[in-house]
Amino acid sequence: MFLLEAAWLCLVGAAVLGSWVLCRRKGPGPLQSQAVCLAAVWVGACLLNLSFLWSLVLCASSGFLLHTCRSDEESLPVDGKAVLVTGTDTGFGHGLAKHLDKLGFTVFAGVLDERSPGAEELRRSCSRRLSVLQMDVTKPEQIQDAYSKVVEKIQDKGLWAVVNNAGIIGFPIDGELIPMNDYKRCMAVNFFGPVEVTKTFLPLLRKSKGRLVMISSMGGSVPLLRMAAYNSTKAALTMFSSVLRQELSKWGVKVIVIQPGGFRTNISGTSDVWDKMEKNILENLPREVQEDYGQDYILKQRNFLQAMTTRTASDLTPVLQDVQHAISARSPSPFYAPGKLAYLWVCFASVSPTSLLDYVIKKLFTIGQDMPRALSMSS
């Protein structure tokens, strides 16, 4: 009986440890995910009918777990802390600039075009603490100019956090069909831009022992079809952040990666943008490749873009809350994966055999998809 109870205790201990890892990994959700995990542990203990001694041990370990999770939720005071956010014209960046402004942060909102509707809305709807900065992350001179304006305004107050959010997705299509200029553009905005911004503002973050937050993507870990350019840049950004997380720890700077799932933002562009990207693809394809794939196959890839605008979540709150937690929590998680099933996808991609991962992705993402002309003719 003693050995049997010891075996059950090991299982319960594994459940407690797994719950602790999940609580640490999933980030904010103030005690909601923690409560679910602990409830599952207690239900398991009741079903196992543990003795008083083992129940006492489980009670003590659960109490320690709850205390740890609560301590992780402890937030630092806002106190007008200054935060720089890039790519605030639309999407995550726009919503985040507004959200942080309401919380009392001093926000520097970097925009691609300071005369854009999004920039004007930020000036109109936010407090005077928010400053809109012209900041195309692919132009070093604009980054340096923004740096000078930030230093001039914060003076001795310091810069607490930088959120590298600016990004583009390009036209989702087979990697062979993506023009090289699209690969280079995507890498310039999604990777080299954040690296340039990071290197420019890191002296301020090291001085404040603040936070560096990277808005990456679930695609940085999961090899999604048609996303060769975008996913490659996000994978590079995630690895860059992981290296910096270790290197900057000695300076007291925390580096956090946000890997959102599917959310409805303007990153996919408009119909006019899609027309230009399709034209660019068709004009840059070698004749042999265009004949093998067929023009109809290329034009039908627009359906995937349309699906992105209808099947993704419109509520950006999970992303905004995770970024807020990354900036404000005394002990933030190194990774967050907001969005439906995003966390499970990232975990599955990291632990599953490659053949299984390829099979699942192929089954889920190729249903109803047309075949290239050469393959359909041969079949």
Would you please indicate which residues are annotated as catalytic (active-site) residues?
230
Instruction: Tell me the C-alpha distance between 88 and 330, whole Å.
Output: 26
Burial class (CB in 10 A: 0-12, 13-18, 19+), 49: exposed
SS (HEC) of the chain: CHHHHHHHHHHHHHHHHHHHHHHHHHCCCCCHHHHHHHHHHHHHHHHHCCCHHHHHHHHHHHHHHHHHHHHHCCECCCCCCEEEECCCCCHHHHHHHHHHHHHCCEEEEEECCCCCHHHHHHHHHCCCCCEEEECCCCCHHHHHHHHHHHHHHHCCCCCCEEEECCCCCCCCCCHHHCCHHHHHHHHHHHHHHHHHHHHHHHHHHHHHCCEEEEECCHHHCCCCCCCHHHHHHHHHHHHHHHHHHHHHHHHCCEEEEECCCCECCHHHCCHHHHHHHHHHHHHHCCHHHHHHHCHHHHHCCHHHHHHHHHCCECCCHHHHHHHHHHHHECCCCCEECCCCCHHHHHHHHHHCCHHHHHHHHHHHHCCCCCCCHHHHHHC
Instruction: Tell me the C-alpha distance between 341 and 318, whole Å.
Output: 12
Instruction: Tell me the C-alpha distance between 366 and 82, whole Å.
Output: 45
Structure-token pair, residue 101: 């402004």
CA angle, 188 then 189 then 193, to 5°: 80
Q: What is the end-to-end Cα distance of the chain in Å, rounded? A: 63
What is the number of residues in the chain? 379
Instruction: Tell me the C-alpha distance between 190 and 229, whole Å.
Output: 10
